[in-house]
Amino acid sequence: MSGPSRVLVTGGTGFIAGVLIRQLLAAGCEVHTTLRDPRREPALRRLLGADTGEAREQLRCFATDLMADAGWAEAAAGCTHLAHLASPLPVGVPRDANELISPAREGALRALQAARDAGVRRVVMTSSVAAISYGHGPGEHRFTEDDWTRLEAPGIPPYVQSKTIAERAARDWVAREGRGLEFCTVNPSVVLGPVASADYSASVVIVQSLLQGRIPALPRIGFGVVDVRDVAELHWRALTAPGMADERFIACGGFLWLREIAAVLRAELGEQARRVPMLDLPDWAVRLLAKASPTVRAAAGELGTVRHQDASHAREVLGWVPRPPREAIVATARDLVGLGLVRP
């Protein structure tokens, strides 16, 4: 299979998408990208360095919505490859899980249908470790791409439901209606790393909240961390390597407790991290606070759980080597400070 010549990247204003689009443009690819609000195109072009010269001609923007058909056929026209990154990622917990499930599932199916109808050869979809490693009970677990989140388990958060249902639906659709369309997924853990603007991912809010002291003490929770540059690189490799049909790749640099992330910030940023908490929040206090807060309630369900998400498959098949999580954490923090997104 030859490499991509024209690639559709959905969700062009997204955290991962911006890094991937820059990589594609630098490689000489033509890029189509989708925006829900076309008024954001000038700012996006400036951010990507595609507002003048040759890069301006390489990039075209199309207005689409995950819940509507308009614009998808035009966006996919002439493309050889599709990277489907657009999906809702909330900061808080929605009242109704369908606020996340419906656009995630319907958007994936619209992107796939547009790709198939346009003759796209390969689709790489951004899923999540959320589709792999939840619903398996408390304690310490190690997950690979063979695992799936158990949606029948109690207390599965809406975001986790949305990523699991969307990936399942996409794989079922390709098997049933793909007509030879080559499909694989990249499943990142919590994505941190360089922040280019105030339009950043909800995952970055974790570091921002620590730096601003909005988390007064540290609950006993943790998660896998991966650098956005490495996630974009894994997408690139999945777009260009041979034999990617039905593949699935975990993207994770390693598991860290929240207190370990806080320690990295204090060690690397000094005075700029003066508001980062040092004290642990006892489990009983988290459970007490959970009675009044849906966000804390979600955290309470994570207490003490360790999810090791094994990225060795991506290393072995694609030669992908992620940065240490520490680098991603520090890059996030320094850019948040530099952009004035953390109050002095």
| 290 half-sphere exposure, CB direction, 13 A CA radius | 16
Structural domain includes residue 156? yes
Residue 70 lies in a domain: yes
Question: How many domains does the chain contain in total?
Answer: 1
Query: What CATH number corresponds to the domain at position 23?
Result: 3.40.50.720
Domain span at residue 16? 6-196+226-254+307-325
The Cα–Cα gap between 286 and 41 comes to 42
- pLDDT of 303-331, one tens digit each? 899 999 999 999 999 999 999 999 999 99
Query: Of 187, 192, 185, 191, nearest to 239 (Cα)?
Result: 185
In a domain, 242, yes or no: yes
Within-domain flag for 153: yes
Position 188 in a domain: yes
Q: Is the pTM above the cut of 0.85? A: yes
Quick check: is 293 in a domain?
A: no
Q: What is the pLDDT of residues 260-293, one digit of tens each?
A: 999 999 999 999 999 999 999 998 998 888 887 7
Q: DSSP character for 24?
A: H
Q: Are 284 and 221 in contact (CB under 8 A)?
A: no
- Asked if residue 272 belongs to a domain, the reply is no
Give the pLDDT band of residue 2 (cuts 50, 70, 90). Answer: low
From 32, 105, 110, 163, the catalytic residue: 163
163 has catalytic annotation: yes
Q: Domain for residue 201, yes or no?
A: no
- Regarding predicted confidence, which is higher, 246 or 296? 246
